[in-house]
Structure 1
Amino acid sequence: MFFIQVNVFAQRGAIKGTVKDENNEPVAGAAIVLEGTVRGVQTDAVGNFQMRDIPKGNYILKASMLGYKDAKVSFVVDAAEPQTFDLVLVEDLLTLDAFEFSVSRGIMGQERLPEVDKFRINAGKKTEVIRVTEINANLAMNNSRQIFARTPGISIWENDGSGIQLGVASRGLNPNRSWEFNVRMNGYDITPDPMGYPEAYFTPPMEVVEQIEIIRGASSLQYGSQFGGLMNFVMRKPDKSTRFTFETLNTVGNDGMFSTFNYLGGTEGKWSYTAYYQKRRGNGWRENGFFDTDHAHVEVNYAASNRLLLGVEMTYMNTESQQPGGLTDEQFAQNARQSTRARNWFSTPWFIPAVTAEYLLSEQTKFSWKAFGTFAERNSIGFMNPIFEEDPMGNRQIDRDFYTTYGSELRMTHDYGLFGKSHTLAAGLRYFNGFIDRRQFGEGDNGTRMNFDLIDGGIYRRELEFTNINHAAFVENVFRFSDRFLATAGVRFERIFSNMEGLFNVVNDSEVFLLPQQTTRNFLLFGVGAEYKVTNSTEFYTNFSEAYRPVLISDLTPPATTDIIDPNLQDSRGFNFDFGYRGAIQNWMKFDVGYFYLNYADRIGTIAQLGPDGRINQFRTNLGTSVSQGFEGYVEFDPVTALAKTSRFGYVHMFASLAFVDARYRDFPVTTVSNGEIVQGNLNGNRVENAPRRINRYGVTYRYNKYSVTWQLSDIGDAFADASNTVTPNAAATVGLIPAYRVQDISGSANIGRNFILRAGINNLLNEMYFTRRAGGYPGPGIMPADGRTFFITAGLKL
């Protein structure tokens, strides 16, 4: 075997060369691939590339770049001597299949996904790609208001100024830790349990996120649960243009904020690697606010052969966060920065390993396999009573969750010809096993620092175990009937087994246990879609896809022992519908406007019922439906390019992201108890809580050479904090109106020479006092103020 390996290695070749445009200018960042293999690199800053360890054989070398036609050349490897190629790319701004094009000598910050990519079908769906690296924003603090500005209809909970957690939603859904999205990173799960506890406690640093992919509810066929659709963070991949690159970004800001982000990566022969470490800490904008976070990630890929690519990824996060708690309406009006909770702390250690493999059976058939896991915790300690109660400085409450999950996904795409047209089939299998160990109402110390140890002799009055096992399979096909018209159709099978059991409470030294709750569900989801190209660069699109929201661990946990969980409790079911028109006008404008309809049926709630013994019990079951419908529109254009084509004085990008959302309950019975009697009611016609009707954002970016500055305005309508649409707030400030607000941000960046980076900005320029959330529990309760005026300055070096 040794002599065989030496002989094979001696026959391996190498190539190098340069990629230039029609004006003989070097093209940086062009993709260089060997067709029919997993091998590929990128051109460096001066358009050069090289590739080593190429086995003996016949190849086609392809160079591609956004906005250019592909350039190809055939060659043969039969010796170890390197071969040199010089390729020329010709501009092609009118063919916009991937909706990705260069404009005004720069890239706009939002695109859409191509029809087929990464072992999935995107055709006929409403998709967005947020190119994070192209946005002027406070990336060190994960400022979601700036990051999602161009994505219409995204509502945001802006109460976590530390950037540790992200709370976003769309189409009238709840932004709570983005739990109505199927949240992933590099295509695999990163939440505690998508089937039972989908809250996204982990958010990767935006300084290392290359792009955020969003597929609205039509993603259900290929990704499963959640009405909001898919939100996938794509991490920066190993640099394919060099053996080694290093980047450091160091940010300072108000209230002692400091962040250091350090990245390295490269490609050497068949190996590629990347790693980063981020440290972020500060005192927060409010009193009793502090955060200290550590993020680390490493990825190594190996091209085992021309057809097989292997990879391993590991991601780690550790957080220490002091929670200022909520405010009453009176306290917020007096001073939004104040805090009456000085002893509340929160921590989420997170570890996510993953193993990946991609195999090209042929140019038409490709396979992808991912195995992944999550080993994490959710820990809190503090005084949790209503915000109008003063902290007596006694023993604090400890709540802890331990998550152990693992899963695997196998995907395949196959291109085939039929009736003279090319079609694409995508299919996949999924296995997931999630386990949650929940320990609540523990008695902690009476100190002020973060400490999750029980006092001597202390116990957790609640200890629950929740298990979810999910098997799924899907198949979806793109039928291309002509160069202008295509249609998609697919089906997904879901099998979910859930079990919850354990200690519910300890009352007077007596332990109260829950009866084991087991459910097994089997069901199908269907979906269809279509696209019709009006011109080479514009198209109509539509989609109808069924979706579901699984029964969560919170749905199976009764607030009191007298409450009853419906033994026939079902997952919420419904569908998403989209119809829109999108595209581009030459290289100076792009747009996406459309109508959506989201039917959220079998929503879970609690009503009062009279039991056989004459006592009133709270009964949790599937009660009713909500419907969200409205308009979403996005347009971005460059008037300078439209009028003058080129300019010595720079270019201007103007964008508007508009959404009108009418989210209302349909038939949805509710009950109250008054004087021992059950009073019937119905939410029919009420607005869904936490759903602003108006979500509008506008911005202008001026670019000149390597300098740019962006101004942005967010104009968000009012919302209700509860389904009863209470206007006047209660004493605890947990219900009541959430007023409309307007916030402005300004950020700029400059690339100095080839190695230095400078960024700066002011968030909430006019120091608007506003809030987006009334919390009923942790990290409140009460009003959770958004940050006032803050600033940041980033200095970076790239080698």
Structure 2
Amino acid sequence: MLLTAVTSFAQTGTIKGRVSLSSDESADNVSVTIRGTKIGTNTDAQGNYEIKNIKPGNYTLRATAVGFSSKEKSITVQDGDEITENFTLTTSSETLTEVFVKGNANKYTKTESEYVSRMTIKNLENAQVYNVVTKQLMKDQLVTNQDEALKNVPGIYQLWGATNRAGDGGSWYSLRGFTTQSLVRNGIAGKVNSNSDAANLEKIEVIKGPSATLFGNVLSSYGGLINRVTKKPNENFGGEIAYQNGSYGFNRLSADVNTPINDDKTALFRLNASVGNANTFQDFGYSKSYFIAPSFSYQVNEKLNISIDAEIGNQDNSGMPLIYLSASSADLGFDNAKDLNINFKRSFLGDEFMTNTKTFNVFAQANYKISDEWNSQTVFSSSSNKAAGLQTWFYLLANEQLSRNVWDANGRDNAIEFQQNFNGDFKIGSMRNRFLIGGDIYHSTNNLVYNNLPGYAPYDVINYTGTADNYYDFNPTNVRQRLVGDGPNYNPYTTNSAISTYSAYVADAINITESLILSAAVRFDHFENQGTFNAATNTKADTFSQNAFSPKFGAVYQIIKDQLSVFGSYQNSFTNKGFLNANVDGALQMKQFDPEKANQFEGGVKVNAFQNKVSATISYYKIKVEDIVTADPNLPNASIQNGTQFSKGFELEITANPIAGLNLLVGYAKNDSELNDLRPATAGPENLINYWFSYNLQTTTLKGLGLGFGGNYGDATYIYNAGPGQTFELPSYSVVNAALYYDQPKYRVSLKVNNLTDELYFNGYTTINVQAPRTFMGSLTYKF
């Protein structure tokens, strides 16, 4: 007590500042120390650091990061001083070579995030669970799109790939038992209706659990959300050009070029782009695309920074048609996709059915430093997607037959979001507060036209086992003639809708002690559905509005400061349902339903130990969703609000660098979901495993040579479940991938094999979607 009292009255100073890296990496976990002492700290996700209680004297301050030249500054601390020292660490070919020799970085851990809580809170201080797919992991695995990258996240399961159609054409995933899509980019709306190209990805964050408090219910699901974090301009000229070539005609050329625009490096520009094409492994199926992502930032002065960037994409895709179930397993004679007697290398198409998808997204941001304790962030996002073309799908019928179906789908969707945040970092008494107050306005429109054959009838029926004389009849020329030729029987289906949300939120994370952090947040959301507009009658239908509150609470206790913490949290979400067909006194009428409500309780442990060599998150969650709208069994085409879904589970992720050159990632997730006493088809497999190991040789003559090995496992999963005797399953799967690479400061050569054992496996959601067999890919990258 006496020592504490003496220390509290001693005069000390504080050193703080910001570290920037000349590369495109965020400067989190950079070491800042006082040379010759054990005093120091690591930077947060934004590169900020603060060292308190420094006695008066002369010191040498040192900033170090693996792969970057360390920098030192001489400083003098006097009584009561608050000194600000900023660092910019630069790369060189000499330090890059040193990285190959050391190889002791945990390359697959980058857990700090500026988006998850929208506050400067480290992962070990945050009661929210989230997983990060790093740029280095994507590079080691030769990842070229978002779907491949997300296979590294525990508990996420792809239900089906991107269909590229307007409205909801992006990939669908299951997360903690609920469906979700990739709708968020850098913490704000950023929707795409295709499989996102990885050319512009710095990392991907998967934020777990109901997250409406900060992100709203439109962009998140009860299981969580996917946030794409993009590359940012930096102060050095440099970049890389890469070419990939692989099985089934895969070709892709990508470029990443960064340059300062002016001499003082306050204006920065970066361009990421790719162009490619590929066939499927079937007789028909083809895609070609280009993607351009320019970004610009300008440091106006010491307080104000502005940035603007865009995503411009175009994709022509014929893909592989989805095979839907149209009858119970009893009608088919089997109840598992492994018993389906079909040659999956046949597309059952007569030619390429192409859909063209265009994306044009613009993002702008202004950060303003109001004071040492307060910052302002203003963000604007505009997302525009357009798609047109013939799209096909099949229904699985009895007697080894498929019905072949098609529609001419044309449409567009647009979304605009404006967001304003004010962040404070201040003390009330001895308690540190990291405070957020903000709000956003979101508006989206959806205009879709589906031209169908009369009565939604199939084009034809085909035998899928043997000879099919009508195999090539199903082609774009014949389909368009059929659509036009039906004249008065032409059957279009049109939607024209708009929604808006107006939201405000407040959050605070309070250090009750140095180790105990309590957090709370609440969101108010005003939702407006502006109805479906019928241009022919000049009328709107089903207009409604609803209000909702979404709270969030958390507690974290750091058992060992910045190394080991335990946490518990409560999260909430909701979904506005609006007007739907209902059973009203035995008749089918439109009725306004209440919002669905979701609540989650979660607890666990987070670890970041041995100087970031081991990082882990272990958690158990329990989600309950009430007032779910389901089909009314007493009246066809009617809905009833009587469903309750429970979803509980366990998740584990470990990344480690146990010895020099060896990096590993292991994930496991177990989910137990139940909707009205049955496991829903949206839940995916009950057990999922993902893993990846890489090793870089450490000998001088072979430095830069590396080997990677990993894969995924999933249990058998229902794609149809109406109770005993009325189920259909996809079999369990175990897929193994391998990679070999040689990385040098000026170039990188890589080879990857996906599905090494040539496993026949599927995913699906009421569908049977066959996945690719063994494929090879090679890559050559030039760095400058």
Give your verdict on TM over 0.5: yes
Change (3 A) 1:576 1:188: same
**Gapped regions of structure 2 (runs ≥ 5):** 1-18, 33-59, 77-84, 91-100, 326-336, 460-473, 698-702
User: What does residue range 309-388 of structure 1 map to in structure 2 within 5 Å?
Assistant: 309-327=305-323, 329=337, 332-343=340-351, 344-384=353-393, 386-388=395-397
- Give 1:391 deviation, angstroms: 9.0
Aligned 8 A contact 2:200 2:231 in 1: yes
1:239 is matched with which residue? 234
Which of 696, 713, 718 lines up with 1:703 in the alignment?
696
Query: For 1:85 and 1:224, how far apart are their aligned partners in 2?
Result: 36
Residue 161 of structure 2 contacts residue 170 of structure 2 at CA under 8 Å; is this kept in 1? Answer: no
1:788 is matched with which residue? 773
Q: Which residue of 2 aligns with 1:797?
A: 782
Evaluate the alpha carbon distance shift between residue 103 and residue 357 of structure 1 in structure 2; reply closer, same or farther with a 3 A threshold.
farther
Does 2:172 match 1:172?
Answer: no
What's 1:157 paired with? 159
RMSD: 4.1
* Structure 1 position 501 matched with structure 2 position 532: yes
Confirm or deny: 8 A CA contact 2:750 2:778 kept in the other structure.
Answer: yes
- The residue that corresponds to 2:186 in the other structure is 186
1:271 correspondence with 2:267: yes
Query: Aligned in 2, Cα 1:431/1:378: closer, same or farther, shift over 3 Å?
Result: same
1: CA distance between counterparts of 2:216 and 2:144?
A: 30
TM-score (norm 1): 0.74
Deviation of the 1:376 alpha carbon: 1.4
Name 1:110's counterpart in structure 2: 109
User: 1:701 Cα deviation (Å)?
Assistant: 1.5
**Pair 1:297-2:296 in alignment:** no
Distance in 2 (CA, whole Å) between partners of 1:661 and 1:693 is 5
Deviation larger for 395-404 or 765-774: 395-404
SS in structure 1 at match of 2:593:
coil
| Structure 1 range deviating more: 347-356 or 469-478 | 347-356
* Residue 227 in structure 1 maps to residue 222 in structure 2: yes
For the pair 1:543 / 2:536, whether they are aligned, the reply is: no
**Partner Cα separation in structure 2 for residue 541 and residue 434 of structure 1:** 36
Query: Matched residues in 2 for 1:518 and 1:161: separation?
Result: 29
Offset, 1:335? 2.1
Distance 1:750 1:117, change over 3 A: same
Which residue does 1:529 correspond to in 2? 554
Which residue number corresponds to residue 759 of structure 1? 750
- In structure 2, the partner of 1:133 is 136
SS at match of 1:262: strand
Change (3 A) 1:740 1:472: same
Work out whether residues 132 and 206 of structure 1, in 8 Å CA contact, stay in contact via their aligned partners in 2.
no
Aligned residues of 2:412 and 2:448 also touching (Cα < 8 A)? yes
Question: Which secondary structure state, in structure 2, belongs to the residue aligned with residue 222 of structure 1?
Answer: helix
**Which residue is 1:6 aligned to?**
none
Distance (Å, rounded) in 2 between the aligned partners of 1:390 and 1:317: 37
The answer to whether the Cα contact below 8 Å between 2:505 and 2:523 also exists between their aligned partners in 1 is: yes
Q: Please report how far the alpha carbon of residue 785 of structure 1 lies from its aligned counterpart in structure 2 after TM superposition.
A: 0.2
Specify whether residues 620 and 512 from structure 1 end up closer, same or farther in structure 2 by C-alpha distance, changes over 3 A only.
farther
The letter of the residue matching 1:618 is N
Instruction: Select 1:255's aligned residue among 248, 251, 270.
Output: 248
Aligned counterparts of 2:725 and 2:365: Cα–Cα separation in 1: 51
Amino acid aligned to 2:135: V
2:713 and 2:733 in contact (8 A); partners too: yes
Please name the residue that 2:500 is paired with.
469
Amino acid in structure 1 at the alignment position of 2:735: V
Structure 1: give runs of 5+ residues left out of the alignment: 1-18, 36-59, 76-83, 90-101, 192-199, 505-510, 610-615, 642-649, 666-682, 729-734, 776-781
Q: What corresponds to 1:216 in structure 2?
A: 208
TM-aligned CA deviation for residue 20 of structure 1: 14
Contact 1:415 1:423 in 2 (8 A): yes
What is the Cα deviation at residue 66 of structure 1? 7.5
Q: Which amino acid in 1 is paired with 2:605?
A: Y
Residues 644-676 of structure 1, C-alpha deviations (whole Å, 9 max, x = no match): xxxxxx5323432111110112xxxxxxxxxxx
Judge which range, 699-708 or 489-498, deviates more. Answer: 699-708
CA distance 1:516–1:71, shift in 2 (3 Å): farther
Shift in Å, 1:257: 0.5
More deviation in 685-694 or 280-289?
A: 685-694
* 1:619 CA drift (Å): 1.7
Q: Match for 2:602: what amino acid? A: D
Per the TM alignment, residue 288 of structure 1 is displaced from its structure 2 partner at its CA by 1.4
Structure 2 distance, partners of 1:297, 1:114, is 22
Give secondary structure in 2 for the equivalent of 1:366: strand
Letter in 2 for 1:742: S
Q: Quick check: 2:280–2:319 contact (8 Å CA) kept in 1?
A: no
Deviations along 1:278-313, whole A, 9 cap, x unmatched? 112111122311111111111111111211111211
Change (3 A) 1:258 1:486: same
Q: In the alignment, does 2:652 pair up with 1:633?
A: yes
Query: How far has the Cα of 1:798 moved from its partner?
Result: 1.3
| Alpha-carbon distance change, 140 to 108 in structure 1, aligned in 2, over 3 angstroms | closer
Percent identical: 14
Contact 1:155-1:691 at 8 Å conserved across structures = yes
1:796 maps to amino acid:
T
What's the CA shift for 1:372?
1.5
After superposing the two structures, state which structure 1 stretch, 115-124 or 762-771, moved more: 115-124
Q: 1:532-611 to 2 correspondence within 5 Å?
A: 532-536=557-561, 537-551=563-577, 556=580, 564=588, 566-587=590-611, 588-609=613-634
CA distance in 2, matches of 1:756, 1:707: 12
Residue by residue, what CA displacement relative to the aligned partner does 1:500-554 show, whole Å, maximum 9, x if unpaired? Answer: 32459xxxxxx999970011001111110011111120100111011123438xx
Question: Distance in 1 between the 2:657 and 2:64 partners?
Answer: 25
Q: 2:709 & 2:409 partners in 1: Cα distance?
A: 42
Distance in 2, matches of 1:421 and 1:86, equals: 29
Q: 1:172·1:692 contact (CA, 8 Å) conserved in 2?
A: no
| Alpha-carbon distance in structure 1 between the residues aligned to 2:732 and 2:530 | 42
> Which residue number in structure 2 is paired with residue 8 of structure 1?
none
SS at match of 1:223: helix
Q: Distance in 2 between matches of 1:747 and 1:538?
A: 33
Structure 1 residues 738 and 503: alpha-carbon distance in aligned structure 2, compared to 1, 3 A threshold: farther
Q: Distance in 2 between matches of 1:28 and 1:245?
A: 10
Tell me which amino acid in the other structure corresponds to 1:346.
T
Where does residue 492 of structure 1 map in the other structure? 523
Evaluate the alpha carbon distance shift between residue 258 and residue 29 of structure 1 in structure 2; reply closer, same or farther with a 3 A threshold.
closer
Shift of the 118–485 alpha-carbon distance from structure 1 to 2, 3 Å rule, reads: closer
- 305 and 143 in structure 1: CA distance in 2 versus 1, 3 angstrom threshold: closer
- CA contact 1:540–1:580 (8 Å) conserved in 2: yes
1:398 and 1:391, CA in 2 relative to 1: closer, same or farther beyond 3 A?
Answer: farther
> In the superposition, relative to structure 1, how do residues 289 and 346 fare at CA in structure 2: closer, same or farther (>3 Å)?
same
8 Å Cα contact 1:320-1:346 kept in structure 2: yes
* Alpha-carbon distance between aligned partners in 2 of 1:30 and 1:114, rounded to the nearest angstrom: 10
The residue correspondences of 1:25-104 to structure 2 (distance < 5 A) are 63=63, 65=65, 104=103
Q: Check if 1:426 corresponds to 2:436.
A: yes
Aligned partners of 2:598 and 2:403: how far apart in 1? 47
Determine which structure has the larger helix proportion and give its number: 2
Query: Structure 2: how far apart are the matches of 1:469 and 1:452?
Result: 37
TM-score normalised by length of structure 2 = 0.75
Say if 2:24 and 2:234, in contact at 8 Å, map to a contact too: no
Relative to structure 1, is the Cα distance of residues 369 and 544 closer, same or farther in structure 2, using a 3 angstrom cutoff? Answer: same
SS at match of 2:289: strand
Check 1:655–1:402 CA distance in 2 against 1; reply closer, same or farther (3 A cut): closer
Contact 1:606 1:621 in 2 (8 A): yes
| C-alpha distance in structure 2 between counterparts of 1:28 and 1:376, whole Å | 28
Determine if contact 1:139/1:206 at 8 Å carries over to the other structure. no
Whichever residue aligns with residue 663 of structure 1, its letter is: S
Distance 2:248 2:305 in 1: 46
Separation of aligned partners in 2, 1:542 and 1:286: 49
Aligned-pair distance for 1:490? 0.9
